[in-house]
Structure 1
Amino acid sequence: MAVDVGGTTLKGGLIAQDGRILYRDRRPTPRTEGPDRVIAAISAFVADLSAPRTVAGAPLRPAAVGLAVPGLVASGRAVFSAAFGWRDVPAAAFTDGRLPLALGHDVRSAGEAELAYGSAAPDALYLPIGTGIAGAVVLTGSLYGGAAGWAGQIGHIPVRPGGLPCPCGQRGCLSAYASAASVAARAGETSAEDVVRRAAAGDEPAARVWAEAVEALALALATYTLVLDPAVIVVGGGLSLAGDALLTPLRARLAARLAFRPAPEVRTSALGVDAGLLGAGLLGLRALGQQGGGHVDHLGA
């Protein structure tokens, strides 16, 4: 069983060991109702997915749970999430304990799926852009977690020191300017897709918000590129669905900020919006002491 917890949507499913999605479901994330309500919604979703069901004539019963959540994640607990406001939530809060469970970081798990089933390079950044922004850092074919396992918090790079407030407590973070949620809010829309549509139609306020988002992304990615020299930057998440409306100006602005060296390739995820769900499925395999996918044996935890 796989559950990918997003700031807007809970995505769940039953995943075969070879990565096939056998069953899927989704529910809204009650983010505005507080951390306890989000935890309860995840727990209820896990319970519902645990029930035996028949798909295409075959009985399915999950053997383990893979749960991918945003924020800072340590072994067995969700340490902190700016999106939900929770702190030190034990893994047991999300399940009744009847099935083995592996808890992991949503973006790092999605990065594992890109390595296992997608087309990520040995040195790459996987960057899903949704309600928030974080990155999965891939170095020499393995995910890099850092000293405490918290590497990749790119959404909290300060791109405008002293700028807009961020739920993390800092000001001027990348997420405050370039996440799908912030793009929509700053343009007075309900979705970033609406902002992109308005900008393409020549609406000046929407075009300004969109241009500021792209510039903020280019600034953060130029810094990342100069430090770690990735071969490719893989953009995922809901904002990646903007396609060339995002990639074309982002490539140009990134190249402009790297005057003395070429910019890395920037492309969209091979797995699309399923990367997070498949990453959660890999966590479920880990809970069983197994691994799936072509490159997963080489991944760090």
Structure 2
Amino acid sequence: MSSFVVALDVGGTSMKGGLVTRSGEIIRTDRRATPRDRGPAAVIATIRSFIDDLAAAEGGTPEGVGLAVPGLVTAEAALYSANIGWRDVPAGDLVPLDVPVMLGHDVRTGGLAESVLGAGRELSDFLFLPIGTGIAGATILGGEPYGGSGGWAGEIGHTPVHPEGEPCACGQIGCLETYASASAVARRYSTRVAASPPSAPASSSFAPEPSSTPASPLPASSPPSTSSATVVPPASVSAERVAALTASGDPLAVEIWDDAVEALSLALATYTLLLDPSAIVLGGGLAEAGPLLSDPLAERLGKRLAFRDAPPLRHAALGMSAGMLGAALLGWRAAGFTDAGTTWSLDVLKSPHVA
């Protein structure tokens, strides 16, 4: 029997777990819902049972356990997560087995995987930027994620890009995440459609989808003002749909997409001038739009950096498995194998379990 570690990527909605061997073979994966609506104790219990079940399925004891978790985290403890609601949870409380364990921040752990295994494999310094429901980044320095003095490094999504713009859920005004996250793109398009007269051209291309998200109406100018009026659209539209409408030339979708690209270019220009990354690796759901996002973003970023070249943009290589694969690296590091992943074949990562 091959030795293995348990790797678990804990998200606010679901968890992805896997068993990964010393050679990088992914021998099992599974998913479970994250029961955050039942409180942090239920989430911890689910994590423990998930780890136990994964290990038992292989019929052996893992060499270690690696966990990627959201919020403020150290290698030894999950200090705080607004999404899950826990505070000061020691790593040992999350694992039912008497084996070495290491925790990592979810985005930084994904960045570690992209550094060791993926799009940043030959780079020492880059920004890993997954753009999904929210936006956070992993600053990779010398091949390792940088957590900052207190573990808060990487919150690029809360960089103010429009100081007089739209309120952000974090309490600030005009954050990058408010304009350029996948959820923001979907919300802003849906809200503008709901606020448009029935005869407006924008509403003719609106294709309702089966979810409903309340939002605030935005005026046509960019950046939008902080209007207190509220409109509940009849249905919301996904960011994927907005991307498709942008590609087809829908005027409102083009405007919303352009706002997102503009916001990203502002934040990334600042990041580039401060840290001079070798590359920017784009991941997450919005990056699935491919050149529709990366081409105008590269052009806009290049124009913002008047006296220097912009870093190249790359697409993340590991997709939605980056967090789980990063957790596997943490698990092997916890077991004492600090060089884990450096000899793993990219062909191994094409296992059907990597999806």
* Range of TM-score over shorter length: 0.7 to 0.9
Match of 1:145?
A: 147
The reply to whether residue 4 of structure 1 matches residue 9 of structure 2 is yes
Query: 1:61-120, CA deviations, whole angstroms, 9 ceiling, x for partnerless residues?
Result: 533221101222124222233444544343344333444321111121122212211241
Per the TM alignment, residue 33 of structure 1 is displaced from its structure 2 partner at its CA by: 6.1
Larger deviation: 122-131 or 171-180?
A: 171-180
Aligned residue in 2 for 1:79 = 79
Alignment partner of 1:275: what SS? helix
- Select which of 169, 172, 181 maps to 1:170: 172
Letter in 2 for 1:274: S
Aligned match of 2:243: 196
**Cα 1:36–1:151 shift into 2, 3 Å:** same
Question: In structure 2, what residue type is equivalent to 1:110?
Answer: G
Cα deviation digits, residues 172-199 of structure 1 (max 9, x gap): 2222222223323333345322221222
User: Which residue of 329, 345, 348 maps to 1:282?
Assistant: 329
Name the counterpart of 1:114: 114
For 1:124, the aligned partner's letter is: F
Say whether the 8 Å CA contact 1:111–1:136 is kept in structure 2.
yes
How far apart in 2 are the matches of 1:158 and 1:112?
A: 26
Per the alignment, residue 51 of structure 2 pairs with: 46
Counterpart Cα distance in 1 of 2:170 and 2:86: 11
> Of 240, 253, 257, which residue of structure 2 is paired with 1:206?
253
Map of 2:200 onto structure 1: none
Amino acid at match of 2:95: T
- Distance verdict in 2 for CA 1:195–1:99, change over 3 Å: farther
Show the 5 A alignment for 1:20-35: 20-30=25-35, 35=40
Question: Which consecutive residues of structure 1, in runs of 5 or more, have no partner in the other structure?
Answer: 54-58, 297-301
Identity in percent: 56
Alpha-carbon distance in 2 for matches of 1:196, 1:8? 24
Q: How many residues align?
A: 291
Residue 228 and residue 112 in structure 1: after superposition, are their counterparts in 2 closer, same or farther (change >3 A)?
Answer: same
Deviation at 1:40, TM superposition (A): 4.6
In 2, the alpha carbon distance for the partners of 1:88 and 1:169 equals 24
Name 1:100's counterpart in structure 2. Answer: 100
Task: State the 1:24 CA deviation.
Answer: 1.5
Where do residues 172-251 of structure 1 align in structure 2 (5 Å cutoff)?
172-188=174-190, 189=236, 191-251=238-298
Report the AA paired with residue 203 of structure 1: D
Aligned 8 A contact 2:119 2:281 in 1: no
Please, which moves more after superposition, 287-296 or 273-282?
287-296
Partner amino acid, structure 2, of 1:260:
F
Q: CA deviation at 1:30?
A: 4.7
Q: CA deviation at 1:217?
A: 1.2
Cα displacement (A) at 1:261: 1.4
**Is contact 2:10-2:70 (8 Å) kept?**
yes
Residue by residue over 1:244-279, the C-alpha shift from the partner in whole angstroms, topping out at 9 and shown as x without a partner, is: 111111111211211221111001012233221110
Q: What CA deviation, in whole Å up to 9, does each residue of 1:17-66 have, x standing for no partner?
A: 2333221222344556665554454444333323223xxxxx66533221
What is the CA–CA distance in structure 2 between the aligned matches of 1:109 and 1:171, rounded to whole Å? 28
Instruction: Report the Cα offset of residue 157 of structure 1.
Output: 1.2
Cα RMSD (Å): 2.6
Q: Normalized against structure 2, the TM-score is what?
A: 0.73
Q: Is the 8 A contact 1:125 1:135 kept in 2?
A: yes
Quote the Cα distance in structure 2 between the aligned partners of 1:89 and 1:167. 25
State whether residues 14 and 21 of structure 1, in contact with CA within 8 Å, keep that contact through their aligned partners in structure 2.
yes
The one of 135, 154, 157 aligned to 1:155: 157
CA contact (8 A) 1:116 1:295 kept: no
**Structure with more strand by fraction:** 1
Distance 1:103 1:227 in 2: 28
Q: State the TM-score, normalizing by the size of structure 1.
A: 0.85
Deviations 1:228-254 (A, max 9, x none): 111111111222211111111111121
1:195/1:149 CA distance change after superposition, 3 Å: same
**Structure-2 separation of matches of 1:257 and 1:83:** 35
The aligned counterpart of 1:14 is 19
